[in-house]
Structure 1
Amino acid sequence: MLALVLVGSVFLLVQARHLWFFGDDWMFLLERSLSQRPVHDLMAPHNDHWSAVPILIYRVLFSVVGLQHYLVFAVLPIIAHAVVCVLLFVVLRRCGVNDWIAVGVATVMVFLGAGAENLLWAFQVGMVGSAALGLAALLVATSLSGRRSVLLVWLLSVLSLMTASTSIPMLVWLGAFVLISDGVRRALVLTVPPMIVYAAWFAVWGHEADTGITKAPLADVLPMAWRGLSATWDNMSGFAGSGQVIVIGLLAASVALAPGTPRRTLALSGWAAALVAYLMFAYSRGSFGPDAATTSRYAYFGALLMLPSVALALDALLQRLRVRVVEAGLVLAVLLGLLVVPGIFGVIDFRVARDAMTPDLRQRVLAASELARSGEPRLREQVDPVWNASLSAAELTPDSVAEALPDEAVSPRARLTARATLQVGAAAESLGLPDAKPSFDSISTSPSGDCVIGLGTVDGVVKIPSGPTGAQVRITLAEPAGTTVVVRDGELSSAPVPLAAPDTDEFYLGITAPDVELRVSLPPGAPFTIC
């Protein structure tokens, strides 16, 4: 089993080396501090998570290696995932699952393409870490007895709760397992003290969480949770529509097979935790629509919590058939291959898609830091408004951050892209810049007083020359969505950048970068007036 986990970890590292810091990574790297206000920054919720453990890890690594080596951070969820897979195997064996079935089921977890977001995004060490710590608490509860084991379960459970809110389903799994196997008293002894700690944190800090996400209506929660459960198996199997059948079959197997055995208890308690998990996911992410609970990060937990029922069903099948070891191995290899192979390709597909989301992100961040530190005027602060909205140019200005960035040359194109991102802006009021006289390529226009009117075209471009102190124009555009800007200097152009227009038909579009040309691509067919 360890060899398979090692192979899987190396495979994940190979994929992760193509990626870089993304999204919420920047909040832990640049917005939390252990020196200025350590208690607040460790205890304040991130969205609705208590993230003290990953924040502490991020801050320590940032102080040691800065942002020079992404793999130092990327290895965190991979290590946590390796621990999860080993612990899952040990728990399955402890509960009486056949050796080879336990190996096979844990291997599905190792190459879980359906949960690739948790495996290849360093920030997800929170979610995966909460699973590892929660699973460790479950293993201790099933293996040891006495006062020391209780204290260890408490410690592991509290650390899990301090890592991410996905620890709550893990605590439910622990409580349900102990409830079925040992009774109410021991279940309460093991789970109530960690719950009290979490409730205290929530009363003091956690209730202040402002995610900006609307909760789902209660009537929608159960259907959304069901979509999440079934989507997990759709993605794991690679067969759309198979998830509902698989979920129903596995739930029926968990209820009917091997009564009175620890492996059935593990499967049933896993289902209890899975139900709680997906109800949480659906309710807390309601504004993301009916598919809010189907994302990759949640599929990771769905797989972990439901795979014990797969082990239970396979174990019962092999015992019922009484086949020889070789035949059993072949059947197991075929069945698990149907899950492992799609998982491998799922990981690769996720890496390719994530890489395509943020092309040249490292160069763009370096260029943004360089521009921010130059003192040139900026009209916007977001370095990557779409995928890294929490990263601002001001946060890249301090010496401590600039010195932590990778030591590599910034390309001329990246510099222009930084200008298009930070020095081009739109506002309802004048930006106080000199008025420019635009020209047009592949757009037919007509004069209208001191302005021109026209329609956006597929290849049409509005050219706005920038002088030594920048330039601006006044635009009337009813549908600015889809407008992009490019900064051009001689023969070199920036990457296209979406225009963040104000919520008004008429606005001023300006650029503070000196002596360059701003090219604006308007939505095809959209009528405009430019003055």
Structure 2
Amino acid sequence: MSTESATAAGTTATTRTNGTASTFLVWLRSYRGVHYVILAVAALFLLYESRHQGLFYDDWDFVDGANTNLFAPHVGHWSTVPMVLYLAVRTVFGLDSFLPFAVMVIVAQLGLATIIWRIMLKVGVAPWIATTASALICFLGAGGENILWAFQVGFMGAAALALLVMLLLMRERFGVWEIIGVVVLSILALATSGTSLPVLAGAAVVGIVYRGFWRTVAVLLPGAVAYGVWYVIVELHSTGNAYHASGLFQYLTQAPNYILGMLADGSGKVVGIAALGAVGFGLMVIWAIYRLPKASKRWTAAYACLVAAILFAALTAYSRLNLDVPTSGRYVFLTTVLMLPMAMLALTAVQTRVGLPLIGSVVVVALLVGYNFTQLLPVLQGRASAVAETKQEFAATASLIRSGASLDPSAKPAPRFAPQVSVRDIQRMVDNGWMHPGSFDAAAMLTVRAALDVTITSADAPNTTAGCTWLPDGSNSVDLGSGATIKAPGSTQIQYVLTEGTTVSNPITGTLASGWNRLKTTHGNVRVVGTANTVLLCGSRHELTSPGQG
């Protein structure tokens, strides 16, 4: 090759490289590029924060190995997909590192963020408003209960899969692969969590508008049949969900406030001011109803998501009426995701109608993102503390097992944040090599002792109550020594700790039966720190002290 040819080739290659770099920089500065930068930043942040997280509460239902039925419901939810994911991660990676579980739930959360971003773009939300709003899902402190809690891969994953069904039904081309996608994704969504039900109902609305009634029925029918078969064969024969409304009367009288609280008060948690959130939610609904007669086809998904949010609140009001407050973070997370397309569509319409600069609307949404980020950090810190406590309690239990101590295999040594895990479960996880417990402190060992050694049994009434003392309900601090006889007016929750010298265990919650009970320990000193009702203490030593003294 001549020198001139080589020079020309080099110049062409340099020009091509510069052109590629220039194109990438242009893309990076576009709303699409910014959206993916937001996802990348969020992923790095969440991975960094995951180093302090771990398995928590419901996580243990799927990893301790006690439940081998992949089709068994979890609190009423068909949960085969998350069960399989948990068992796969446990088998491949074990339980010592939370990172594989963190990746699983981060993918679900950020997948949900990018799917709802695409829906916002399709319904006509201004691209920069949609992009900024997608960051809200990445750092939603008001819904922080979902974030980095591995168990919520089912909650968020089911909604993400159902929203993917909605996106497929909106595609201009709807061929064989789209049909297969809708069928497969809808079945997977239903087998992931019941949160998919209201979202798939919204997807059906979109399908009817875009694809027609019968074609929508045809592509969603396999999922409906699969869920129906599971419900009849499995769910109807399970022990059921103890938290649902007790009957039609309770639902009709209490559910409306529950539903409105989830949607309106939940919006207040997102914006940080209860009244402002409720007013904003009300104005959005009024605007959506007002514009409905003139709404274009492309707005269908925004209306469908809003309907899905209301249906989710209504279903939750039935299934969790006696369990959670309506503004629990996990509920606020999903209602926020589902209401976002309509809220941002309304913001876009107002901004366009009034002629306000786009930057103003973007800044408003960005301020919401910033506020929620500040609310997210304490949530993650609180759960990190709970996780650290549980790890130490498991380690203390493993140490007792290794020492040959006589332990009840069915006893639960970490009742605060892993109440379903027994001594037998911990031994199995250690023996199988899934878990290698680390160090623990004296307080952790005392907490395990409090959970394993303190017993509450029925007792006969004492011969006399002359030396007994009434303990009022609320916070207290009463030392019982090795135990006492206690009379409760009805089923009464009681909190106690175990003390040994200056070491104090974490609080344990127990339940006194109506009538006389015997609370005793074979280790240390029991101190009652709170009761739900006024009770009568008799026997042993007991000194009433003001709350906080010890």
2:310 aligns with one of 275, 287, 293 = 275
Distance 2:436 2:94 in 1: 8
Alpha-carbon distance change, 111 to 206 in structure 1, aligned in 2, over 3 angstroms = same
Query: Counterpart of 2:352?
Result: 319
1:476 alignment partner, SS class: strand
1:484 aligns with 2:500: no
1:67 aligns with 2:67: no
Structure 2 counterpart of 1:297, which letter?
Answer: R
Query: Counterpart of 1:309?
Result: 342
Alpha-carbon distance change, 355 to 339 in structure 1, aligned in 2, over 3 angstroms = same
Give the superposition deviation at 1:509: 3.1
Structure 2 counterpart of 1:265, which letter?
Answer: T
1:298 aligns with one of 317, 328, 331 = 331
Query: Counterpart of 2:358?
Result: 328
Distance 2:477 2:288 in 1: 60
Distance 2:530 2:189 in 1: 49
Give the superposition deviation at 1:502: 3.7
Matches within 5 A, 1:134-149: 134-143=162-171, 144-149=173-178
Query: Counterpart of 2:521?
Result: 511
Distance 2:49 2:503 in 1: 30
Distance 1:135 1:523 in 2: 46
Query: Counterpart of 2:503?
Result: 493
Identity among equivalent pairs (%)? 25
Listed one character per residue, the Cα deviations across residues 211-252 of structure 1 (whole Å, up to 9, x for unaligned) are 222325231323321211112211111111233322221123
Query: Counterpart of 2:433?
Result: 403
Give the superposition deviation at 1:199: 0.7
Matches within 5 A, 1:45-124: 45-124=73-152
Query: Counterpart of 1:179?
Result: 208
Alpha-carbon distance change, 9 to 208 in structure 1, aligned in 2, over 3 angstroms = farther
Query: Counterpart of 1:233?
Result: 267
Structure 1 counterpart of 2:498, which letter?
Answer: V
1:462 aligns with 2:491: no
Listed one character per residue, the Cα deviations across residues 328-369 of structure 1 (whole Å, up to 9, x for unaligned) are 12x123220332122112211322333455662210122123
Give the superposition deviation at 1:131: 1.5
Distance 1:249 1:454 in 2: 56
Distance 1:363 1:237 in 2: 37
Contact 1:77 1:120 in 2 (8 A): yes
Distance 2:431 2:289 in 1: 55
Alpha-carbon distance change, 295 to 476 in structure 1, aligned in 2, over 3 angstroms = closer
Give the superposition deviation at 1:64: 1.6
Matches within 5 A, 1:17-32: 17-32=51-66
Distance 2:135 2:518 in 1: 57
1:49 alignment partner, SS class: coil
Listed one character per residue, the Cα deviations across residues 356-396 of structure 1 (whole Å, up to 9, x for unaligned) are 55662210122123324544334671223343321222211
Contact 2:264 2:282 in 1 (8 A): no
Contact 2:72 2:78 in 1 (8 A): yes
Moved more, 184-193 or 58-67: 184-193
2:130 alignment partner, SS class: helix
Distance 2:464 2:197 in 1: 65
Distance 2:201 2:509 in 1: 46
Distance 1:137 1:30 in 2: 33
Listed one character per residue, the Cα deviations across residues 155-192 of structure 1 (whole Å, up to 9, x for unaligned) are 11111111000011121121111223343223322322
Alpha-carbon distance change, 142 to 522 in structure 1, aligned in 2, over 3 angstroms = closer
Alpha-carbon distance change, 388 to 140 in structure 1, aligned in 2, over 3 angstroms = same
Contact 1:25 1:123 in 2 (8 A): yes
Structure 2 counterpart of 1:12, which letter?
Answer: L
Distance 2:346 2:463 in 1: 75
Matches within 5 A, 1:83-482: 83-143=111-171, 144-209=173-238, 210-215=240-245, 217-219=250-252, 220-257=254-291, 259-288=294-323, 292-322=325-355, 327-329=357-359, 331-356=360-385, 360-372=389-401, 374-378=403-407, 381-398=411-428, 400=430, 403-428=433-458, 453-454=468-469, 460-464=478-482, 473=483, 475-478=485-488, 481-482=493-494
Listed one character per residue, the Cα deviations across residues 423-450 of structure 1 (whole Å, up to 9, x for unaligned) are 22121269xxxxxxxxxxxxxxxx9989
Alpha-carbon distance change, 483 to 128 in structure 1, aligned in 2, over 3 angstroms = closer
Query: Counterpart of 2:72?
Result: 44
1:118 alignment partner, SS class: coil
Listed one character per residue, the Cα deviations across residues 102-156 of structure 1 (whole Å, up to 9, x for unaligned) are 2122122222222211112110000111112112111222123122211111111
TM-score, normalising length from structure 1? 0.84
2:210 alignment partner, SS class: helix
Structure 1 counterpart of 2:322, which letter?
Answer: S
Structure 1 counterpart of 2:513, which letter?
Answer: D
2:70 alignment partner, SS class: helix
Give the superposition deviation at 1:44: 1.0
Distance 1:422 1:121 in 2: 27
Alpha-carbon distance change, 359 to 530 in structure 1, aligned in 2, over 3 angstroms = farther
Contact 1:140 1:149 in 2 (8 A): yes
Structure 2 counterpart of 1:178, which letter?
Answer: G
Structure 2 counterpart of 1:417, which letter?
Answer: T
Distance 1:359 1:97 in 2: 43
2:527 aligns with one of 516, 520, 527 = 520
Contact 1:425 1:499 in 2 (8 A): no
Give the superposition deviation at 1:201: 1.1
Contact 1:396 1:402 in 2 (8 A): no
Distance 2:82 2:125 in 1: 33
Distance 2:352 2:340 in 1: 18
Contact 1:413 1:494 in 2 (8 A): yes
Give the superposition deviation at 1:262: 4.1
Moved more, 182-191 or 171-180: 182-191
Contact 1:478 1:528 in 2 (8 A): no
Uncovered stretches (5+) of structure 1, i.e. residues with no partner: 431-446, 465-472
TM-score, normalising length from structure 2? 0.81
Contact 1:421 1:497 in 2 (8 A): no
Give the superposition deviation at 1:399: 5.7
Give the superposition deviation at 1:54: 0.6
Alpha-carbon distance change, 311 to 123 in structure 1, aligned in 2, over 3 angstroms = same
Distance 1:52 1:399 in 2: 21
Contact 1:74 1:122 in 2 (8 A): yes
Structure 2 counterpart of 1:231, which letter?
Answer: D
Alpha-carbon distance change, 66 to 401 in structure 1, aligned in 2, over 3 angstroms = farther
2:302 alignment partner, SS class: helix
Alpha-carbon distance change, 355 to 505 in structure 1, aligned in 2, over 3 angstroms = farther
